[in-house]
Chains A and B, each alone.
Chain A
Amino acid sequence: VEKAIKEKKKIVFTGHSSGGAIAILTTVWFLEHYLKPGKTLMSPFCVTFGSPLVGDFIFNHALIRENWSNFFLHFVMRYDIVPRILLASLSTVGQELDQILKLLSQKAMFPIQGSVREASTFYTSVMRNASAVASHAACRLMGNTNPILETVASFIELSPYRPCGTFVFLPGHGKLVVVKNADAILQLLFYSAQLCSENQLNAVAERSLNDHLGYPSELQGCLNWQNVVQLDHLEGLPLSSSGAAAGNIATNIALDDLGLSTRARLCLRAAGEHEKQKLSNQQRMDNKRQEIELGLAKLEEYKSKSALCKVGYYDAFRISKYEDDFKANVTRLELTGIWDEIIEMLNRYELPEPFESRKDWIVLATKYRRIVEPLDIANYYRHAKNEDTGSYMYKGRPRRYRYTQRWREHGLRMPVGSSAESCFWAEVEELVLLYRTADPGAFEVIRERTINLERKLDEWIRSNQISNDVFLKGSTFTKWWITLPIQHKSVSPIQGQIDREI
């Protein structure tokens, strides 16, 4: 790999069956290690054939978020059983699995004498499990609210494995059906392998093994990519073979080629609707950006005004004596509402996967965090919530700040917890509480933490991540800091800053 990179070549990782799984993992390793933001590097490509599933829905979510999903292309013959195996739990198919794997590794074409029964039993078990997984997923997609769904689901072992990347289904005769929507791919993995009638069972079971070995011959006929159908706009799929509008004919043929029943098409539609809904939610949030910017502008103004009074907006808000402070609180609460809604949607996977890595949102979120979190901290300590709940950082910090801090750290490849400039004041408050000048050796208790804090503060001030209103005469920080022992203060990096303000 190193050699190829040096020669500036494009690397393609590929494999068949379990080799495909290794190819996927290798590609991810490559992307994590070599593809750094800002570095120019040829993006890799990963092509698999009949590969089993590799990760769960979070794995898929992360791939899409990082914009790596497009590097993965998985070919699946219509009845090939291997990509479906991991939709079943080991306890239900374990018995037959060994034999089936042996049969497959022989790489001979079927029928092999006496294997039909094993193939049929195996096929039925895998399909039963796949049906449960697909139905459960479809119920969720369609917004089914019957609580018994989750109860029953907790009694069955549902496989956590999910597809990722782009899938290309091969229904036969040189045709190709390309699908990107992961929810749709899951449904297709189940529904395209269904029987048309029960007496097909043995034939299809045999085919489920044969197909796994049929990639070379099938793909020979597809190489010119003539008969390709992209399945998108899933929400408008024709529900029956005869119901297609003119523009949909190619799609309809593809759906028929995969033997998709009405129920299958409804599930695909649901997958399409879900994706559409995510995009529409994102649009709604994008429309709120302006509102957020306005709120932040108001608070910036509040901040500058407070600075003029030598108190700093943190302390002004902490005391909250005037109307301006009250108005600032209103703005703070309005912004809280918007951000909480975003976080809520993220938790329910109702926003598109790339949302958290969008640069414009990371920038806005960081701005929000830096301006507004200090006010949340001030509010927390003003009402002595630390006495009920514990310190702000330990128990009181809202998810909207924790998440947005992670967005920045992840986006800039910073160490976890390093972008903590917005919770500076929380540490100050805790140190103030711990430092009781009456006790001898009081400073020892907080020495290490204080040194750390000062060092970081220095850095943040220099990089303009924190403004120097923290050094104002009336600020909590200053008032505490000047009480520290002289030996410490004289060597402190921020000594100069304080002197300048006072």
Chain B
Amino acid sequence: MLMQIADLIGKVKSIVITGQCIGGTTASLSALFLLCHLLSLSVYPPMSVLCITFGSPLLGNEALHRSIRRQRWGENFCHVVSKHDIMPRLLLAEIVNHIPHIQALLQFWHCCMASPQLPVAGLSSQVSNDLKHILFHSVLKDLELLTQADDPSESLFWPFGSYVFCCQEGAICVENVASIMKMMHLMMATGSPNQSIEDHLKYGDYVAKVSRQFLQARNFEEGIPDSSYEAGVALALQSSDLTDKIVPYRAEIEWYKACCDEADDHMGYYDSFKLTGASRREGRVNINRHRLAQFWNSVIHMLESNKLPHDFDRRGKWVNASHFYKLLVEPLDIADYYRTGMHRERGHYIEHGRERRYEVFDKWWREKSVPEEENKRSKFASLTQDSCFWAKVEEAKEWLDNVRSEGDAMKRQQLWHKIDNFEAYARQLIYNKEVSKDVLAKNSSFSRWMEEWKEMKLQVQQITPLFPGFVDGKVVP
């Protein structure tokens, strides 16, 4: 085939070389061969070379990328990657252990492409769900690690040329290596194992769709920022269907919580985060926590400076998203607050430490136009429905400490009262299963507090018969 290509030199003005999957890498190599050959021949007029690949795996390392860049050959390569397709992303991950899985996958794709009339779903059973799952999550994890490092040099394989990411809504062209890796990650993160396999077969559809898009005027559905730059970015994101780019940060924190729930120390994620602030895992969680805070703060800022449509805070998608975020992440903010001893400086979290955005989200949730149905839960909620629960636990802890040392009987009475109320409240939540299992973990702050409280009550009950007047704060001889 290379001889055939070489034959064309001097006979044609331009050549397009193309291929899908492994065929794409063959196309890339042929194009590189041709470009090198042309260089040595100094053909005039110069022959134009364009290489377009679809769902191809990466070809080479950083050195290849640099050489291609130096020769300015990057402009001859256009790699089309669909939103969820796992193939182009495979070589960014550690796949040494997955080779047999990948081989099964390649066979599956080959079958599908060879018999296009058979429905993909039917053939899909050839590839086991486990396999898909393992491969998908393994690649996604590695992609995430890669994009969190500041420079992508950790990867063995590097992209070169331009990448065109396509989906139903449109396509977006990216050239910068770090951006390419990020897009690879973010787009895949919005998909599922099945989608990542099936998307590999959809290039025909995508190309057909995208090539008809010129006909129709396309507008934003949601708010349009006034800056040209932001609008342009938003349009680009819309084309890539990535309006929820914060998904991976949230996913990381959810995963952290799940890990803590299963962990041996039975602490739950609130306490884990509060206790270990410095370990690597917590460090990453902390970064994501900050990023999400920034994102949501900026959303509120935009809303308040009229950069978003005025009914933004009544749109289901955003109200739910903010609510979910609050329930998931506010406990970590609380943990951080108490770990760093801020409550001693400023006062308790609920009154003094709470970030404004949470109050705003409370408001949005309360004003939701569609009332939430009162469901009877059969198992514990995945997230504690009171995002300030842990702050209340911390306050209750302090009350408990103070009760022991409080001299003034009146004050002691009040504290006792407050503690009682909190206990009743907590019990109600637990009864309604509106707490998540981390609250009830054996070694969680709440559980330990309950232990202490029970003990104290027992002590008081024992004491009371001896000193009947004690309870009223009076000592009756």
Contacts and interface: CB of A to CB of B under 8 A. Distances in A.
Interface of A: 124, 127-128, 131, 142, 146-148, 150-152, 154-155, 191, 194-198, 201, 239-240, 242-243, 259-264, 266, 269-270, 273
Given A155-B50, A239-B224, A259 B217 contact: yes
B220 interface: yes
Contacts of A263: 217-218, 235
Nearest to A201: B215
Contacts of B212: 198
Nearest to A265: B231
Contact of B218 (A146, A243, A262): A262
A269 B75 CA distance: 28
Give me the 9 closest cross-chain CB pairs, A-B, nearest first: A147-B75, A131-B214, A261-B217, A148-B162, A240-B224, A194-B217, A151-B75, A146-B175, A269-B228
Interface in B1-55: 14, 16, 48, 50
Given A154-B14, A270-B228, A195 B72 contact: no
Given A146-B175, A155-B50, A266-B235, A198 B78 contact: no
Contacts of A152: 50, 78
Interface in B223-274: 224-226, 228, 231-232, 235
29 contacts: A127-B214, A146-B173, A146-B175, A147-B72, A147-B75, A148-B75, A148-B76, A148-B173, A152-B78, A194-B214, A194-B215, A194-B217, A195-B215, A195-B217, A198-B212, A239-B231, A240-B219, A240-B220, A243-B224, A261-B218, A262-B224, A262-B231, A263-B218, A264-B217, A266-B231, A266-B235, A269-B228, A270-B228, A273-B228
A198 B72 CA distance: 40
A154 B49 CA distance: 10
A194 B219 CA distance: 12
**Which residue, B72, B76, B162, B215, has most C-beta atoms of chain A within 10 A?**
B215
B218 A266 contact: no
Nearest to B306: A243
Contacts of B77: 148
A155 B16 contact: yes
Interface of B: 14, 16, 48, 50, 72, 74-78, 161-162, 173, 175, 212, 214-220, 224-226, 228, 231-232, 235, 309
Contacts of B220: 240, 262
B78 A148 contact: yes
A445 B262 CA distance: 101
A21 B52 CA distance: 40
Contacts of A131: 214
B228 A266 contact: yes
A470 B161 CA distance: 59
Contacts of A128: 214
B178 to A, nearest CB: 15
Given A147-B75, A239-B228, A243-B224, A198 B215 contact: yes
B202 to A, nearest CB: 20
Nearest to B213: A131
A194 B215 CA distance: 6
Given A150-B75, A240-B224, 17 more contacts: A124-B215, A127-B214, A128-B214, A142-B232, A146-B173, A147-B75, A148-B78, A148-B162, A151-B50, A194-B214, A194-B217, A195-B217, A198-B215, A259-B217, A261-B218, A264-B217, A266-B232
A235 to B, nearest CB: 8
Given A262-B235, A266-B235, A196 B75 contact: no
Contact of A261 (B74, B76, B219, B226): B219
Contacts of A195: 215-217
Contacts of B14: 154-155
A149 B50 CA distance: 11
B338 to A, nearest CB: 44
A263 B218 CA distance: 7
Question: Which of A242, A243, A260 gathers most chain B CB within 10 Å?
Answer: A243
A194 B173 CA distance: 23
Q: Which of A150, A151, A195, A269 has the most CB of B within 10 A?
A: A151
A191 B217 contact: yes
B48 A151 contact: yes
Given A240-B224, A266-B231, A146 B162 contact: yes
Contacts of A124: 215
B75 A239 contact: no
Contacts of B309: 242
Nearest to B163: A148
Contacts of A147: 72, 74-75, 175
A150 B74 CA distance: 12
Nearest to A124: B215
Nearest to B77: A148
Tell me which of A127, A131, A263 has the highest count of chain B C-beta atoms within 10 A of its own C-beta.
Answer: A263
A335 B48 CA distance: 40
B78 A194 contact: no
Contacts of B161: 148
Nearest to B232: A266
A478 B215 CA distance: 73
A243 B234 CA distance: 16
Given A148-B175, A239-B226, A262 B219 contact: yes
B68 to A, nearest CB: 12
Contacts of A127: 214-215
A260 B218 CA distance: 9
Contacts of B235: 262-263, 266
B278 to A, nearest CB: 42
A270 B224 CA distance: 17
Contacts of B232: 142, 266
Contacts of B219: 240, 261-262
A147 B173 CA distance: 11
Given A146-B162, A148-B175, A266-B228, A154 B48 contact: yes
A147 B68 CA distance: 13
Contacts of B72: 147
B49 to A, nearest CB: 8
Contacts of B50: 151-152, 155
A35 B226 CA distance: 46
Contacts of B75: 147-148, 150-151
A386 B173 CA distance: 49
Contacts of B76: 148, 151
Contacts of B16: 155
Nearest to B228: A269
Nearest to B225: A239
A195 B214 CA distance: 9
A146 B77 CA distance: 12
